[in-house]
Amino acid sequence: MCLIIHQPEGATTPVALLQSAAEYNPDGFGFMGFDAHGKPRIERSGFADVELATRLADQFAGRNCAFHFRRRTRGSSHAENLHPFKLSHGLYLMHNGTANVELRLPGRSDTWHLVHDYLGPFLANRRRLIYDRDFRHILDAWLGPQNRIVFLDEAEGRIELLHRADGLDWNGLWLSNARWVDRKLLSLEGHDGVYRATEASFC
């Protein structure tokens, strides 16, 4: 599992949240957002880089952006499995959850397969389907509410959330879950369990 933090226009992301996210999700960091000129900024790191995350939070204060902290469940910690993933030119994706897809390449995550074998080929020439109600209904039914997705669309200058209602609104931000963050530190309510990185195991 992982944690996505979406920061909409006008909001800021506190350092305490980034530090907690990094502690519970130590296997990678990603960022996507729009700068002052409306251009996308994409960053990835092979570890939970709090320094980079803090710097980006300062640079993008009040701007539309998203942070991704990875906790590896499937696939290696190699760069190929870091978020955000590029779906097509100017279209990126962050994912939190476990997608029920065929894993044909060892070492590649379920998100990698979701992007390269399913969504990427399908959306390459149909990018506006991410806004289509019927397509989103099909995607919802296929992936289930436990899979939360955030898209960045350069052409539209938008960040779009799938399964927003299954995440958590907190202090103007949206969190994909509250399981992999310190609820006591951040006074989060409605969580679904909290575990430190050393306490969790996966079968």
Domain ranges for the chain, please list them.
Answer: 2-186
Q: What's the pLDDT at 142?
A: 93
Q: What is the chain's mean pLDDT, rounded?
A: 87
Q: What's the pLDDT at 181?
A: 80
According to DSSP, the residues that pair with 174 across neighbouring strands are: 6, 169
Q: In angstroms, rounded to a whole number, what is the distance separating the alpha carbons of residues 148 and 143?
A: 9
CA within 13 Å, CB half, 179: 16
According to DSSP, the residues that pair with 161 across neighbouring strands are: 150
Question: Is the per-residue pLDDT at 189 higher than 60?
Answer: no
**Best CA proximity match to 14, nearest among 166, 148, 172, 191:** 172
Q: What dotted CATH number matches 2-186?
A: 3.60.20.10
CB 183 within 8 A of CB 9: no
Scanning the structure block, which residue is given the tokens 């590896």? 72
pLDDT, tens digit, 9 for 90 and up, residues 19-47: 999 998 998 999 999 999 999 999 999 99
Q: Within the chain, where are the H helices?
A: 15-24, 50-59, 110-113, 120-123, 133-143, 183-186
pLDDT band of residue 182 (cuts 50, 70, 90) is confident
By three-state DSSP, how is residue 199 classified?
coil
Phi, psi at 7, each rounded to 5°:
-110, 105
The 10 Å Cβ neighbour count of residue 35 is: 12
According to DSSP, the residues that pair with 30 across neighbouring strands are: 44, 68
Q: What's the pLDDT at 39?
A: 93
Question: Is the per-residue pLDDT at 197 higher than 50?
Answer: no
Question: Is the per-residue pLDDT at 131 higher than 90?
Answer: yes
Scanning the structure block, which residue is given the tokens 């430190």? 196
pLDDT band of residue 1 (cuts 50, 70, 90) is low
Instruction: Output 193 or 86, whichever has higher pLDDT.
Output: 86
